[in-house]
Amino acid sequence: MTRHCSLPPSIKRLPACMAAVLLLLLHTAVALAQGGGKQQLPPELMPKHPAGKEAARANIDAKRAIENMYSDDALPRSREFKRTDSTYYVGWMFEGIYKYTHAADYTGFKNAAASLERALSLLERDYKRQLSTRSGDIMVLLPAYNFQIDYSIIASNLVHAYSNIDQPEKIIPVLRRAIKYNFQREFYLDPYNMLAWTVHRNRFYTHDKYPFLKNSIDENEALANRYLDSGMRAIERNKAINANLFPPGYVDQEKNGVYHYKNILHAYNFRIDSAALYFELMRKSGRLPHNNYANFKSICGDFRTAEAEYKIAAEQDGGDKRLQEWAYFTTILDIYKSNPKNAAALARNMIKAAGSTPGYGWYNIALARSLTYDGQVEQAGKYADRAADFKETHIGTTLGQSHYDFSLQLIRLVNKEQAWQAERFEHRNWWYNPRVLWRIVCKLADKYLQQFLIINQFSQNPERERVIYKLFSTENVVSWDEVWYLVKDFSTRFFLKRFSREADTDQRRYIHKYFLFFKAKLMMVQGRYDEARPILDQLLKDPDTDAEYEKLFTARVYQAQAECARELKQTATYNDRMYRLYSLYPQLVPYTGLAPNMILHVSGTVDKAVEARLRAFNINWVNGKGIPAPEAYVIFSGSGKKKNISYYVIDREGKQVVEQQSFAWKQPEDAGRELAYRLFNIGGKEPEETEEKN
């Protein structure tokens, strides 16, 4: 885009030829500030270099003027520049930028940091005077301008390299040196913003670990906010000196940088109105960060807007080698919408695109979660193991290894819960079968060990109050439903009191019902079914429930109502709620411990052994007279080595809940088992299914 720059009054008074030259310089300077460091001043306009270095560095400057440090030729150019003069920072800068832009793991960023450190050191050694120059006079500022921009480019990439290899203690000295130089424009570094980001990213640590921190999350968040306020004051302070040098819009551009981090802090601390204000300021300036705004809308329970914003973020994805948060969180929204197959397809595509670059581990967690909610327990465990074996690099995000580990361990807990529930689903009379009983005991033991592991990890998490107990937060990387698996078997009285308080005090209109649901479920754990039932009934009448985007929530309410009805011997209510649960989210049913009702129609060349195995599942096979139940149609065909089973399920209105599909089979035991799960829409084809890398 071409940007118009008005002519300053001081230039208008000069002779025409000189005015033209200075205008060229001014436009060149502005272009430098806006062009990502890819443009350079012509060599004849560069300032003099240290004595004895003029010729070699002038040669480098001349070649640099036509080179792009972000291109694939940057590395050979860096070697050439270092051969010419290894004490000049430019060669090391080209090398460091090349290594940083091509890094995708710890070693890559560490190597980039080494080159950038050398570049910054050499730049400060030889050009400290230029770095300290401040002036409203273009003729004074111009000789120093290029060095200041280079400093901001080098320091910015160095700071991000340190962040990507979890060395925040090295970030702070770089930023404080930049503040000491007191640049009249910060260009690419924004040291106060980066100080705030670094503190926020490490907020759960204390001064003992990192001396730049305070001793609590609240104190660290307050410190980060003060840094942002200092950054805003610096912008205001520099307006006068920059008035005739830069176009007026630069102030708004720099303020938007502060607003961006204000959004992050306010959203994290549930200052909803303040976060909304800063997001709106960025929207008006055309700088709305769609991914962060989607996260914000999601924690407010506006999942419809969140999904729309994630789609915009996806369209603006520049192909960075980092976790694409929009993809990870969109899979969770798909799960909320009762579309775990869509979620799995997206996760597979992201895995395929990412390869072994940063984000690969997160996408495997997303796929494991998607398969979990699609009822594919064994497959989910496979991808959870892949995520555990991958060394994830956390780039450009506040999400770190602790978030990664917690998400992974919680998915494993849900899987282990499903594994032992599956045994009960697959064997109607499981309590009479010693082999099945033994498997259930073993799987329950695995579940309890996993609970012990994760609860110990959870108890050491200083963020649990504002991340997990809040159910929805900007730093929560799991679904609200997974949190239930964490809390349901521990300290019922404590959690009941905690979620009751949240239900009374949380101001997020669309989130209130989730706290009430947890309250009702915990009352059920205490056996207070009569007290829980009215709360659950009221939740179904909540006008703020989005029927499309909160199907998981509604399905869990139906499940809880069915559990109450079972305990209270209310058969008609039980049958109705189980039918509604199946119709809305069939994949959940086999792992609830509840027996669903189903009408079975079998036709074709029926294999009696397969049918017998199917009927042995914990399903109430009814004739439909007075009992609401889905109707399953199973058609056998073929013979010998080419035997197939086609199937589909419809609801009482004739709408397909499970679309018609088929599969080949050999062994009756395996066929009966697979068919039973497929009647609950578990497995089968995913939308736009893609082959993944092994």
The Cα–Cα gap between 65 and 63 comes to 5
The Cα–Cα gap between 514 and 495 comes to 14
pLDDT band at 51, cuts 50/70/90?
A: confident
Write the pLDDT tens digit of every residue in 156-187: 999 999 998 889 999 999 999 999 999 999 88
* Residue closest to 416 by CA, chosen among 362, 367, 454: 454
Q: Which residue has the higher pLDDT, 50 or 578?
A: 578
Write the pLDDT tens digit of every residue in 279-322: 999 999 889 999 999 999 999 999 999 999 999 998 887 666 67
Write the pLDDT tens digit of every residue in 268-279: 999 999 999 999
Residue 430: what pLDDT?
Answer: 75
- Evaluate if residue 477 carries a pLDDT over 80: yes
Element (H or E) spanning 86, and its range? none
- Evaluate if residue 688 carries a pLDDT over 70: no
Percent of the chain surpassing pLDDT 90: 62
- Evaluate if residue 482 carries a pLDDT over 70: yes
> Given this structure, which CATH class describes domain 597-678?
alpha beta
* Residue closest to 485 by CA, chosen among 456, 442, 450: 450
Write the pLDDT tens digit of every residue in 631-652: 999 999 988 788 999 999 999 9
Residue 47: what pLDDT?
Answer: 54
Residues 6+ positions from 10 with CB-CB distance below 8 Å? 244
**Phi, then psi, of 620 in degrees rounded to 5:** -85, 105
The distance of Cα 454 from the centroid of its chain, to the nearest Å, equals 21
**Least confident stretch, 238-242, 288-292, 343-347, 466-470:** 466-470
pLDDT band at 549, cuts 50/70/90?
A: very high
pLDDT band at 18, cuts 50/70/90?
A: very low
The Cα–Cα gap between 406 and 479 comes to 12
- Evaluate if residue 359 carries a pLDDT over 50: yes
Q: Which residue has the higher pLDDT, 400 or 574?
A: 574
Residue 318: what pLDDT?
Answer: 60
- Evaluate if residue 41 carries a pLDDT over 80: no
Residue 25: what pLDDT?
Answer: 45
* Residue closest to 607 by CA, chosen among 684, 672, 678, 674: 672
Residue 217: what pLDDT?
Answer: 92
* Residue closest to 553 by CA, chosen among 481, 496, 611: 481
pLDDT band at 12, cuts 50/70/90?
A: very low
Total residue length of the chain: 694
Structural tokens at position 80: 């050439």
Pairing relationship of beta strands 597-604 and 620-621 according to DSSP bridges: parallel
Write the pLDDT tens digit of every residue in 377-431: 999 999 999 999 888 877 777 777 888 888 999 999 999 999 989 988 999 887 7
The DSSP secondary structure of 59-80, one letter per residue, reads: HHHHHHTT--TTSTTHHHHHHH
468-483: average pLDDT: 90
pLDDT band at 594, cuts 50/70/90?
A: very high
**Phi, then psi, of 659 in degrees rounded to 5:** -70, 155
Residue 131: what pLDDT?
Answer: 93
Which three-class secondary structure state does DSSP give residue 249? helix
The mean pLDDT of the chain is: 87
Which three-class secondary structure state does DSSP give residue 54? helix
Write the pLDDT tens digit of every residue in 598-630: 999 999 998 999 999 999 999 999 987 789 999
Architecture in CATH for domain 491-595: Alpha Horseshoe (1.25)
The Cα–Cα gap between 635 and 235 comes to 72
Pairing relationship of beta strands 597-604 and 631-639 according to DSSP bridges: parallel
511-539: average pLDDT: 95
Residue 353: what pLDDT?
Answer: 85
The Cα–Cα gap between 28 and 45 comes to 11
The answer to whether the CB of 66 falls within 8 A of the CB of 50 is: no
Residues 6+ positions from 462 with CB-CB distance below 8 Å? 204, 217
pLDDT band at 460, cuts 50/70/90?
A: confident
- Evaluate if residue 30 carries a pLDDT over 60: no
pLDDT band at 124, cuts 50/70/90?
A: very high
The DSSP secondary structure of 417-459, one letter per residue, reads: HHHHHHHHHH-TTGGG-HHHHHHHHHHHHHHHHHHHHHHHHHH
